[in-house]
A and B are shown apart, each in its own frame.
Chain A
Amino acid sequence: SQQGEEDPQALSIQEGENATMNCSYKTSINNLQWYRQNSGRGLVHLILIRSNEREKHSGRLRVTLDTSKKSSSLLITASRAADTASYFCATVLGNQFYFGTGTSLTVIP
């Protein structure tokens, strides 16, 4: 299966700390995307990194991609209580989107 797998499954940190979550996948990709899902809501796109890129930044988000290891990481710096959500990676090849199993992040105020 192409589906990515995130780890850890759950992460709990104090406000102000950094949060890192990882995504591993199995086959080739065109790009990899990260999404956030607040409880009871739909997914919101955070950042897209192409297969020929190694690192990308957006505000407090930093994404890395290592295609040789078939893995990506999402770093959220200076976390806030509002960052509490589930985070999913999506591997994309052509028209195919495969979402991972998600990391549940809790930021304690």
Chain B
Amino acid sequence: EAGVAQSPRYKIIEKRQSVAFWCNPISGHATLYWYQQILGQGPKLLIQFQNNGVVDDSQLPKDRFSAERLKGVDSTLKIQPAKLEDSAVYLCASSLMAGPYEQYFGPGTRLTVT
């Protein structure tokens, strides 16, 4: 079974630039999550999708962050414009369905904003 794929693995941008991350979840997984993990901290949920609908985006900074999951499979997370404090690892995870089930994580994208 192929795992959760993410790209790119690393990205360096200057503040005020834009950036996009891509995630391909495990085949058949209806639920997809984007997390932000700042160095030394635990992952913080940004947005959760069930198929192509948003379940929870309460912690997504909507003035600069956006995410979509077209056709209920792949997802992209965008930041525009980036700030220094956005430097973090962005993790994508998927699970079979929404609810208290285990999540499968991708390797993450490490973003550095200079």
Q: Are A45 and B100 within 8 A (Cβ)?
A: no
Q: A3-B42, A88-B42 are in contact. Are A97 and B103 (CB under 8 A)?
A: yes
Give the interface size class of chain A. Answer: 20 to 34
Q: Which residue of B lies closest to A50 (CB)?
A: B100
Number of interface residues of B (CB under 8 A): 25
Query: Which residues of A have CB within 8 Å of B56?
Result: 95-96
Q: A30-B100, A31-B100, A100-B42 are in contact. Are A95 and B105 (CB under 8 A)?
A: no
Q: Are B4 and A42 within 8 A (Cβ)?
A: yes
A43 at the interface (CB under 8 A from B): yes
B44 at the interface (CB under 8 A from A): yes
* Residues 79-114 of B contacting A (Cβ, < 8 Å): 91, 93, 98-100, 102-108, 110
Query: Which residues of B have CB within 8 Å of A40?
Result: 107-108, 110
Q: Are B108 and A99 within 8 A (Cβ)?
A: no
Binding site for A on B (CB under 8 A): 4, 33, 35, 40-45, 48, 55-56, 91, 93, 98-100, 102-108, 110
Q: Which residue of A lies closest to B104 (CB)?
A: A45
Q: Are A99 and B33 within 8 A (Cβ)?
A: no
A92 at the interface (CB under 8 A from B): yes
List 9 A–B pairs whose Cβ atoms lie within 8 Å, in order of A's numbering: A3-B42, A33-B102, A40-B108, A42-B93, A42-B105, A42-B108, A48-B102, A94-B99, A99-B44
Q: Are A45 and B42 within 8 A (Cβ)?
A: no
